[in-house]
């Protein structure tokens, strides 16, 4: 069974720190991997999409990496800001109708 | 997201009543999905559609039905709402090409009393 695991479940850091969120998945035969951000009471906002053939994607202060062979992805956030506080979800797509989500990492960035 | 809208945004209904949630897209994507999000369970797939009148069950489909009569609309129906169906419901769309991710709607918060 395909599963997605995110560690840690929660993370609190002071403003300005660089941080890494982790995502692991079973079965390396993926289509793609997507990182989302979710603010309390809101929907999911797509941050980065990494194709199966790619190793990383970057957008501003965010960098996501993918290592299919080890079943891992990391989301690196540089110079964190209080506005980065949210829940970050990792989602892995194995087929057109099979995307599984991790439980998320709740990030708090303290001023 | 401007390309996908859900209605209503909030709804309170009584146990035993039918409820229909609507998802509308303007992206002409083939795939549409309904998820529910609950504390401790994360996001779980209810039903999905891979074309007009083509639908299939997800992992938590009991008590739900769906219909897709047009490319742009995907309806989720709770035939007889129960308190266990109190949740936040999200619709998502995607193309079937590998370089497409999922785009989510803003969600519908449903409370069954």
Summarize pLDDT for A52-81 with one digit per residue, the tens: 999 999 999 999 999 999 999 999 999 999
Whether A44 has its CB under 8 Å from any CB of chain B: the answer is yes
Chain B: closest CA distance from residue A32 (Å): 7
Residue A28 sits at the chain B interface (C-beta within 8 Å): no
Query: Are A42 and B106 inside 8 Å of each other by CB?
Result: yes
Mean pLDDT in chain A?
Answer: 94
Instruction: Inform me whether the C-beta atom of residue A106 falls under 8 Å from chain B C-beta atoms.
Output: no
Structure tokens that stand for B76 in this block? 């989720």
User: Which of B45, B56, B107 has the CB atom closest to A43's CB atom?
Assistant: B107
Query: What is the rounded distance in angstroms from the CA atom of residue A23 to the CA atom of residue B15?
Result: 38
Picking from B80, B76, B79, the residue whose alpha carbon sits closest to that of residue B67 is: B76
Q: What is the pLDDT of residue A55?
A: 96
- Residue B19 neighbours by CB distance under 10 Å: 19
How many CB pairs (< 8 A) connect A and B? Answer: 50
Over residues A11-26, the pLDDT tens digits come to: 999 999 999 999 999 9
Kindly tell me if the per-residue pLDDT of B58 is higher than 60: yes
Q: Which residue has the tokens 């062979």?
A: A69
The whole-number pLDDT of residue B7 equals: 97
Residue pair A94/A30 in contact by the 8 Å Cβ criterion: yes
Mutate to test the interface with B, among A42, A97, A104 (most CBs of B within 10 A): A97
With a cut of 80, say whether residue B27 has pLDDT above it: yes
Give mean pLDDT, residues B6-24: 97
Here the tokens at position B40 are: 């401790």
Kindly state the percentage of chain B with pLDDT values over 70: 96
Q: Is the pLDDT of residue A46 over 90?
A: yes
CB contact under 8 A, A42 and B107: yes
Give the separation between CA B113 and CA B105, rounded to whole angstroms. Answer: 25
Closest CB to A97 among B43, B50, B104: B50
What's the pLDDT score for residue B2? 60
pLDDT at residue B98, as a whole number: 62
* pLDDT reading at B41 higher than 90: no
């Amino acid at each position: 069974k395909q599963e997605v695991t995110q560690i840690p479940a929660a993370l609190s850091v002071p403003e300005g720190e660089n941080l890494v969120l982790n995502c692991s998945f079973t079965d390396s035969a993926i289509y793609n991997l997507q990182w989302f951000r979710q603010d309390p009471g809101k929907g999911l906002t797509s941050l980065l999409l990494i194709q199966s053939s790619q190793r990383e994607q970057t957008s501003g202060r965010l960098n996501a990496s993918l290592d299919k062979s080890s079943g891992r992805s990391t989301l690196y956030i540089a110079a964190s800001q209080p506005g980065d506080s949210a829940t970050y979800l990792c989602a892995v797509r194995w087929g057109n109708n099979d995307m599984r989500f991790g439980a998320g990492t709740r990030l708090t960035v303290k001023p | 997201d401007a390309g996908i809208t859900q209605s209503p945004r909030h709804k309170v209904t009584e146990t035993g009543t039918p409820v229909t949630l609507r998802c509308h897209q303007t992206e002409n994507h083939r795939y549409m999905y309904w998820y529910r999000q609950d504390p401790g369970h994360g996001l779980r797939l209810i039903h999905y559609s891979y074309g007009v009148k083509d639908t299939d069950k997800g992992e938590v489909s009991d008590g739900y039905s769906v219909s897709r009569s047009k490319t742009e609309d995907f309806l989720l129906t709770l035939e007889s709402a129960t308190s266990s169906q109190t949740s936040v419901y999200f619709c998502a769309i995607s193309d079937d090409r590998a370089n497409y991710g999922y785009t989510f709607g803003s969600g519908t918060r449903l409370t069954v009393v």
